Amino acid sequence: MTLPLMFEVYKPKQRLLESDVYHTKPEIAAVMIKTQPKSPAYTCDVGDSIRI
């Protein structure tokens, strides 16, 4: 199974250009979760848990 690589570059406020928009790490993560491909390989129920 091949999983697509998704990433977004985080830039601290000090390194932004005037044309850039600042996003916090949680905001970047939320956008990535919302835009991930809809596929059975990516499904997850909130009630799922990992047992060790």
Cβ atoms 8, 32 nearer than 8 A: yes
Cβ atoms 46, 8 nearer than 8 A: no
Confidence (pTM):
0.56
pLDDT digits (tens, 9 = 90+) for 2-18: 656 778 889 999 999 99
pLDDT class of 26 with cuts at 50, 70, 90: very high
**32 membership: H or E segment, kind and range:** helix 25-35
Question: On the CB side of 14, how many CA atoms lie within 13 Å of its CA?
Answer: 0
Q: Which of 8, 3, 10, 16 is nearest to 34 (CA)?
A: 8
